[in-house]
Amino acid sequence: MPIQLTKIAVIASLVLGSTAVTATADTITERLAAGDPIRIGFSNVPIWGYPDENGEAKGFVNAIALGILAEMGITDVETTVTDWAGLIPGLQAGRYDLITGGLYILNSRCANIAFSEPIGSMGDAFIVPAGNPRNINNYKDVLALEDAVLVTPTGYNSVEAARREGLDDDQLMQVPGPSEVLAAVRAGRADAGAVTYFEADFLAGESDGTIDVTDPSALPEWTLNWVGIGMRFDDSAFMADFNTALAKYVGTEEMLASVEEYGFTAAHLPGDKSTEWVCANR
């Protein structure tokens, strides 16, 4: 089905409270019945979810979410770009109906928002200076070098992972997003940067050969994650319909063709893990 973005609203997090976005506690079902568009919030994260030069939603998570909505017959969509840390609070405040952009399904997040069934599974990686001069491939390598610093975006799953592996504030730098991770590593303010593998690969490609990507398999198995679409708990009726359409769409040739340009392949499909299992185990 064709996907039509009929309304685009690209705003910065500093103006989330302005009239550019009207917060409402109405459920998605009520909004659709009133003829309102579906409002999607996402952050500017390479490959996962980002706006193009015209402000339209790009990235493989957005492509999959829009494909599922189209499967449901929904093509009236309004998108909003905000900072990563504002996604869940914005959803809870009723500024968006769905949030995309690559949210891993984590136990800590499952306590605050509802997740669709998984749409993909993938791991993380580190970016390091070319040649990896300090031989940093995982969190324990950072911990072993007392003066080493790992940088990662605030709110990423890698913050929890780093804490679990023993890193404290002296060795963990948090920044707003992936571009700041790259800047910190290139400037020597951090020895490695923890992001998703897709982001790491993208950032290395943008670095003019100054950055390498570590082997994702060097990180603990429990850092392998599953991605879902976030909604409010009050939207359980819509979520049920969304998951029905998701089951029909995810893994189809149409879906895989829509995300091919982003490097998402059949190897990244979610497998047989349910959101209930992921919430309990991640």
CATH number for the domain that contains residue 171:
3.40.190.10
Which domain, by its residues, includes 156?
124-223
Mean pLDDT of 39-63: 91
| Spatial distance between the Cα atoms of 282 and 271, rounded to a whole number of angstroms | 16
Length of the chain in terms of residues written: 282
Mean pLDDT of 40-68: 92
Confidence of residue 7 (pLDDT cuts 50, 70, 90): very low
Q: Are residues 106 and 151 in the same domain?
A: no
pLDDT surpassing 90 at residue 33? yes
Q: Are residues 180 and 55 in the same domain?
A: no
Alpha carbon distance 199, 179 (integer Å): 10
State what percent of residues in the chain have pLDDT above 90: 75
User: Looking at residues 166-170, what average pLDDT do you find?
Assistant: 95
Give the residue, 251 or 8, on which the prediction is more confident: 251
Same domain, yes or no: 203 and 256: no
- Check whether 9 has a pLDDT greater than 60: no
- Residue 51 makes CB contacts below 8 A (sequence gap 6+) with 10, 44, 57, 58, 79, 81
- Asked if residue 131 and residue 72 are part of one domain, the reply reads no
- Listed in sequence order, the residues at least 6 apart from 30 whose beta carbon sits closer than 8 Å to its beta carbon are none
What are the DSSP E strand ranges found in the chain? 7-8, 38-42, 50-51, 57-58, 77-81, 98-99, 114-115, 120-122, 124-129, 150-153, 172-175, 192-196, 211-213, 225-227, 230-231
**What 3-state DSSP class applies to 192?**
strand
**Among candidates 51, 54, 123, 64, which has minimal Cα distance to 98?**
64
Q: Name the domain count of the chain.
A: 2
For position 259, what pLDDT does the model report? 95
Q: How far apart are CA 160 and CA 223, in angstroms?
A: 10
The torsion of the CA quartet 103, 88, 113, 154, rounded to 10 degrees, works out to 60
Same domain, 92 and 43: yes
Q: How confident is the model at residue 25 (pLDDT cuts 50, 70, 90)?
A: low
Q: Indicate whether 251 and 114 sit together in one domain.
A: yes
- In the sheet where 172-175 sits, what is the strand order? 172-175, 150-153, 192-196, 124-129, 211-213
Token pair, residue 217, equals: 């398999």
pLDDT-derived band at 57 (thresholds 50, 70, 90) equals very high
Give percent above pLDDT 70 in the chain: 91
| Continuous H helices in 41-86 | 60-71
User: Does residue 1 sit within a domain?
Assistant: no
pLDDT surpasses 80 at 177: yes
The rounded distance, in Å, linking the Cα atoms of 166 and 136 is: 15
Residues 15, 45: one domain?
yes
Region 255-282: mean pLDDT is 93
* Mean per-residue pLDDT of the chain: 89
Lowest mean pLDDT among 62-76, 136-150, 197-211, 233-247: 197-211
| CA angle 24–89–23, rounded 5-degree value | 15
